[in-house]
Amino acid sequence: MKLFATSILLFFPLHVHSSPAITAENVEAFFNTAFAVQQQEHSIAGAVVSVVYQGEPLFKAGYGYADIDQRIPADAEISLFRIASITKTFIWTAIMQLHEQGKLDINDDVNDYLTEFKVPDTFPEPIRIRHLLTHTPGLEESALGMSARNLEEMKPLAQYLQTNMPARVRPPGSHASYSNWGASLAGYIIEQISGQSWSDYVDANILTVLDMKSTNTQNELPEPLTKRHAKGYRFTNGEFIATPLEVLNDAPAGNMSSTADDMSRFMLAHLADGQYNGQQLLNAATAQEMQSILFDAHSKLPPLLHGFLGYHQNDQVIFGHSGDINQFHSDMALFPELGLGLFVSFNSDPGAAARSNLVPAFVDYFFPRQYLREAPQPVDIELAEYVGQYLPLRSNQSTTERFATLMDDTSISIIGDNLFLAGYSQWVPIGIDEFVHQYQDTHLIFKRNEAGAISHAIIGSPLGTYRKVTGLQAPANQRILIIVMMIIALGAVAGFGYRAIVPSRDVGLPSIRVIAAWLHALSLLYLYTKMYLVLSGNMDQFAFGMPEWMQRLLLAITLNLLMGIFVIVCAIQNWLEGSGTLSMRVLYSLVGLMALINLWIAWYFNIASSTW
């Protein structure tokens, strides 16, 4: 389909309120209203917020409860909230401290600092430290074993990194894919260089420098902070249910807790060229380098900085990081041109939506857009080549975790003159391989391979990169295969069962073959129904590693494969020997086809792999 978009430039101002000044009174009024609305819309348990402006703390407050049962209110100075992946910004700050001291170079091969294990040389280009800062080391995703049930079961960092090392699946620096393992590796490199644990290094070289006395990096909360830590809450059936704090094996990627007041100090330092209250966190050149672009997937996409994520909204330059762990959801946004910083954290799972809406609402309120953007220029685009299925790069390929991709694909289709992206509404073409969201300033960018074919789609951010999949690599086709397999299994169970019950129905096949086919079909029905329930249910327990019951399920599927091979051999023998009636040979061959599909599924999803 050919599309020719008309062009017009609109200069008329939008009907927006006048931009309010950044004052403590205005900021307080905004957050008081925002949290009242969010309490109604999202049923949040509690939240804390802090705002800094032009070198000074401007506003801080708590809303709701840090502990519902004890009726302890959330307090910006007292209540510790898990900041989750914002921990990474402390890791990246530490890396850049060592970089400015000449103890490492971000262009160094990570293997130069690894003594207990090495990253395989899968590709000619090594993984460098800068690839860790931008989530571009080219690693697959692996969430198994990232958490421990308690401190006693927690693995030493080196052991975790070695035993849970994800496979290298693309050249480093080619595409971005969020990597907790990569951030944890950076924490381990800090340990190797400094001779301290990453947490002790951050305590001594960041928290002490910034007087962040209410921030915790350690695996076990110090006693004075334990009573001050907010509880995390699930919101289930209209009730808040407290959950324990998650213990992380990949601690450098998300272990820290802090108060909103402490986080204001961290923001102030990064907004003031590394200086805070007369103390130097980083020299000015390094602080500015951290805010510079290190990976840029496309000019219309937010860049990845030296550990921070950069973006624009309403013409405002913003960088920062968000974080999610269990029921804690946080965000930190810094506006370097304004000297403005915002930190917010929620302690209940509805806070994920509340957090995602809050910073954009803050920007829209204080920095409203005054004019419409220029309309798209005429373009001539063949939309059909973008249509298809896409899988997130943040997925697994080499272990049984690959099974999760069955439910994780995104489809792109055509609606009128636009592309429709499932879950993201419509996208308007503005150039070759360039689209903009119908109602937002978010862009969809496509990348091509060496042959010129569409290979990747990047949705909104380099961290939202998807690869195009076709044929049997497309989850929709895989689901069809599984449905076909299940239909055959149902038919085989019913067909062979009926002939076993009705004696007059002689199948003309050896009993062992009939029993094997019937058992194979019946077990497939059970095993794949169980697998579906696993994939569509709560996957949290897999963070502790592969559960024993799941290992038994995978073992049962593996044993079933052996039975399937026997069935395939019997199906061939039936035709060679002329055994049974024609209808029975056909039915048995269908069961053999079912077994063949099952073998392919087991191979593709690494079910029989030793990497459970």
The whole-chain average pLDDT of the chain stands at: 91
CA distance 379 to 7: 10
- Strand pairing class (293-295; 304-305): antiparallel
Q: Supply the pLDDT for residue 17.
A: 54
Neighbour count for residue 408 (Cβ, 10 Å): 15
**Residue 570's pLDDT is what?**
95
The residue whose two tokens read 């019997």 is: 570
What does the block give as tokens for 440? 């937002």
Classify each residue of 19-28 as buried b or exposed e, where b means 16 or more C-beta atoms within 10 Å of its C-beta.
eeebeeeebb
User: How many residues comprise the chain?
Assistant: 612
Closest alpha carbon to 454 in 441, 438, 466: 466
pLDDT at 4 over 70: no
Decide if 214 contacts 263 (C-beta within 8 A).
no
Convert the pLDDT of each residue in 527-549 to its tens digit.
989 888 887 777 778 888 888 88
Is 482:601 a contact under the CB 8 Å cutoff?
yes
Asked if pLDDT for residue 611 goes beyond 70, the answer is no
Domain spanning 24-270+280-366: CATH superfamily: DD-peptidase/beta-lactamase superfamily (3.40.710.10)
Which distant-in-sequence residues (6+ apart) come within 8 Å of 224 by Cβ?
none
In the block, tokens 């969809």 appear at 444
How confident is the model over 337-361, as a mean pLDDT? 94
Instruction: Provide the pLDDT for residue 497.
Output: 76
pLDDT of residue 389: 96
Q: Can you tell me the distance from the alpha carbon of 487 to that of 489, in angstroms, rounded to the nearest whole number?
A: 5
Lowest mean pLDDT across 186-195, 284-293, 496-505: 496-505
The first and second tokens of residue 547, run together, are 């559960």
Mean pLDDT of 90-103: 98
More confident residue, 380 or 451: 451
Amino acid at 87: T
pLDDT band of 48, cuts 50, 70, 90: very high
Q: CATH for 378-469, among 2.120.10.30, 3.30.930.10, 2.20.25.90, 2.40.128.50?
A: 2.40.128.50
Which segments within 140-215 are labelled E, that is strand?
Answer: 147-148
Asked if pLDDT for residue 599 goes beyond 80, the answer is yes
% of the chain beyond a pLDDT of 70 = 94
Count the alpha carbons within 13 Å of 202 in the hemisphere toward its beta carbon: 27
Residue 601 confidence (pLDDT): 93
Q: Give residue 376's pLDDT.
A: 62
Q: Which of 43-57, 76-90, 493-507 bottoms out in mean pLDDT, i.e. has the lowest?
A: 493-507
Query: Which of 1-15, 409-423, 552-566 comes out lowest in average pLDDT?
Result: 1-15
Do the beta carbons of residue 49 and residue 342 sit within 8 Å?
yes
Q: Judge contact between 444 and 457, C-beta under 8 A.
A: yes
| Mean pLDDT confidence for 104-129 | 97
Confidence at residue 10, expressed as pLDDT on a 0 to 100 scale: 28
Cβ burial of 522 (10 Å; 0-12, 13-18, 19+) is middle
- Does the pLDDT at position 133 exceed 50? yes
Segment among 33-47, 173-187, 210-224, 543-557 with least mean pLDDT: 543-557
Distance CA 270, CA 256 (A): 18
Q: pLDDT tens digits, residue range 162-195? A: 999 999 999 999 999 999 999 999 999 999 999 9
- Both tokens assigned to 302: 């937010």
Alpha-carbon distances, residue 444 vs 475, 522, 573 (angstroms): 22, 45, 54
* 411-434 mean pLDDT: 90
Secondary structure (3-state) at 116: coil
Model confidence band, residue 206 (pLDDT cutoffs 50, 70, 90): very high
DSSP assignments along 308-376, one per residue:
SEEEEETTEEEEEEEEEETTEEEEEEEETTTTEEEEEEESBTTHHHHHHHHHHHHHHHHS---BPPPPP
CA distances from 254 to 181, 321, 332, 358 (A): 11, 12, 14, 21
Averaged pLDDT, 325-349: 96
Q: Report the percent of the chain where pLDDT is more than 90.
A: 77
Q: Determine the residue type at 228.
A: R
pLDDT at 487: 95
Going by pLDDT thresholds of 50, 70 and 90, the confidence category of residue 506 is low
pTM of the entire predicted model: 0.92
| Distances from the Cα of 169 to the Cα of 149, 174, 395, angstroms | 30, 11, 10
- Tell me how far apart the alpha carbons of residues 271 and 248 are, in angstroms, rounded to a whole number: 30
Helix, strand, coil content of the chain in percent (nearest 5): 40, 25, 35
pLDDT recorded at residue 610: 52
Name the residue ranges covered by the structural domains of the chain: 24-270+280-366, 378-469, 473-604
Confidence class for position 336, pLDDT limits 50, 70, 90: very high
Question: Is residue 325 predicted with pLDDT exceeding 60?
Answer: yes
Range in 1-5, 40-44, 77-81, 355-359 with the lowest mean pLDDT? 1-5
Inform me whether the pLDDT recorded for 68 exceeds 60: yes
Query: Across 29-43, 109-123, 575-589, which has the greatest mean pLDDT?
Result: 109-123
In the prediction, which pLDDT does 13 show?
Answer: 39
Confidence of residue 502 (pLDDT cuts 50, 70, 90): low
